[in-house]
Structure 1
Amino acid sequence: MMPDSISMTFWGVRGSIACPGPDTARFGGNTSCVEVRCGGHTLIFDAGSGLRGLGEALAGKMDEIDLFLSHLHIDHLIGLPFFQPAFEPGRRLRLWAAGLEEAGGLRAAIGCYMSFPLFPIGLDALHANITFNDFTRGETLTPRPGLTLRTAALDHPGGATGYRLEFGGRAICYITDTAMSPETMPAILALARGADCLVMDATYTDAELVQFAGWGHASWQQNVAFANAAAVKTLCLFHHAPEHDDAAMDRIAQEADRARRGTIVAHEGLSLTF
């Protein structure tokens, strides 16, 4: 990597529920988790089931980690209690999330998940130096020197957060779990404008979208239109429906490339550098 470049690795690309099996082996069955490296910094977006494999890869490496959560629906959080660095004494792990005031904040919300009768261990079993950072959607975050994260509210039941990471003159956007509603569209268009890469919720096709009105997701065709409107350089489809097996994902990839040349369909293990 060049010192001012940004690299991304996808450890989980599914939405709603993990769906491992022979029919999803090529694209992967783990839920949302994206590792980002820039300037020696390690950032993670979402803690789905893919976080377990990432944790194994990071085990014993004492770099600091910032983990940004789009929201706390279980498919985006289920990997956290299985994240090996969270159990390593001396490791610094910073967690970030917005919109959890009614739950008592991020620490209380995760503590609720990791408690009886939902889970056998609590937060006290995590021996890393963990900080819980609550913020307001729309706020700009500066978690490390040279890193800027702009945020925006998404249209998803219970709320969700979109992120724009800016580093070294480059920008990537992580916008998952959102419907394309008139209320949120101006803010997320501004968030994505001119980004080098947009990773976006492409759960459904246009034909399927009608069945799932109000579920807070988008279609890949909507992603293409959005990326064009925002003048994004590279579109990366993400958060695939568990019902979409490898054959379905192949068809989507072919159609999406015809609609917007260079569109990428994320799969587990994919690495991109900008």
Structure 2
Amino acid sequence: MSRIENQFTVQFWGVRGSIPSPGSHTLRYGGNTPCVEMQVGGKRLIFDGGTGLHVLGQSLLPQMPIEGHIFFTHSHWDHMQGFPFFVPGFVKGNHFHIYGAIAPDGSTIEQRLNDQMLHPNFPVPLQIMQANLNFHDIKPGQPIHINDITIETASLNHPGEAVGYRVNWHGGAAVYITDTEHFPDRLDENILWLSRNADILIYDSTYTDEEYHSPSSPKIGWGHSTWQEAVKMAKAAKVKTLVIYHHDPAHNDDFLDCVGEQAAKEFPGAVMAREGMRLQVLGSVSLSESFPISKFSG
């Protein structure tokens, strides 16, 4: 088995929620919206297609032709706005399998990506993309198998619905949970199940508890969680590394530094998601490589 085929790595290309947030105040953590790449046993798995997908696509150009599997949690704009700018998708010879749950209105992920690229929203339709695109409708709760990789799925608590993913390979597991709101009186059983004993839990920590319960501007019902709730889940699920993810666009680098310090005190395995950060799954999880954030900022 080659070195790449024997690896399970997680790399962050977009870590910001809601809207791209470029500028001097987000240089250290990055301003692109969600996109996480996992290289698992020689397969490339991509989770969400925010503006970070464009940056990932640029990095893949020297490696073409390529094959990848793209998993969408849902189709809110910050999770799919990078897809029309994913250059490898326009190149013949590349092959992408695209997964997403059917929306409450009955639309498939293919229909929603297609609608995003229709006039007057975008000048180039989906059909112009020359890569081989295979679309797969998934049902939360049913696993997906790619060779010896098993991807478990579950529904999340988010307006318009969303899907959480757990990637299992050779005894290691990485969990991608974004755009979900915790329950006030209990842990979400779906997330607890997906997160069980995981090496890495990537969790929607858009707010602090203080912001979520703010008397003047509460965030209850907005579909997102807090870093404090992330810590509760990580402890209950006995995960090794918790990644604080989906940063609020109003949170600058200094604010996120403070969140990271507090989270690490509560859960020593907590780290803040940064663009360019790469984690290694299996055995002890560590930051195996970090790139200059300015290279990847939105």
Gaps of 5+ in 2: 282-298
- What one-letter code is carried by the residue in structure 2 that aligns with 1:48? G
- The verdict on how the C-alpha distance between 1:75 and 1:177 changes in structure 2, with shifts beyond 3 A counting, is same
Assess, with a 3 A threshold, how the Cα gap between structure 1 residues 183 and 257 changes in structure 2: closer, same or farther.
Answer: closer
Q: How far did 1:159 drift? A: 0.3
Contact 1:180 1:218 in 2 (8 A): yes
**Alignment match of 1:226 (pick from 233, 239, 243):** 233
Matching of residues 15-94 of structure 1 within 5 Å: 15-60=17-62, 61-94=64-97
Q: CA deviation at 1:183?
A: 8.6
What is the match of residue 11 of structure 1? 13
TM-score by length of 1: 0.96
SS in 2 for 1:107: helix
Aligned-partner Cα distance in 2 for 1:217–1:159: 12
Q: Deviations over 1:92-138 (max 9, x none)?
A: 11110013262431111111111012111111111100011111111
Corresponding residue to 2:203 among 183, 200, 203: 200
- Aligned partner of 2:151 in structure 1 is 149
SS of structure 2 residue aligned to 1:55: helix
Rounded to whole Å, the distance in 1 between the matches of 2:186 and 2:119 is: 38
Q: What is the letter of the counterpart of residue 88 of structure 1?
A: V
Give me the whole-angstrom Cα distance separating, in 2, the residues matched to 1:265 and 1:184.
22
Aligned pair count reads: 273
Aligned partner of residue 193 in structure 2, secondary structure: helix
The equivalent position to 1:259 in structure 2, one of 254, 266, 269, is 266
Tell me, what secondary structure is at the counterpart of 1:189? helix
Residue 136 of structure 1: which of 117, 134, 139 is its match?
A: 139
Aligned letter for 2:96?
L
Contact 1:199 1:236 in 2 (8 A): yes
Q: Secondary structure at the match of 2:194?
A: helix
Q: Is the 8 A contact 1:99 1:159 kept in 2?
A: no
2:245 to 235, 238, 244: 238
Q: Distance in 2 between matches of 1:2 and 1:167?
A: 14
Structure 1 position 3, deviation (Å): 4.0
Q: Secondary structure at the match of 1:212?
A: coil
Tell me how far 1:5 sits from its aligned partner.
3.2
2:195 corresponds to 1:188:
no
CA offset at residue 227 of structure 1?
A: 0.5
How far apart, in 2, do the equivalents of 1:262 and 1:107 lie? 37
Alignment TM-score, normalising by the size of structure 2: 0.89
- CA drift at 1:2: 6.7
* Partner Cα distance (1:99, 1:220) in 2: 29
- Distance verdict in 2 for CA 1:95–1:176, change over 3 Å: same
Instruction: Give the superposition deviation at 1:191.
Output: 0.9
Unaligned runs of 5+ in 1: none
Paired residues of 1:94 and 1:130 also in contact (CA < 8 A): yes
Q: In the TM superposition, what is the alpha-carbon distance from 1:196 to its structure 2 partner?
A: 0.6
**Residue identity (%):** 41
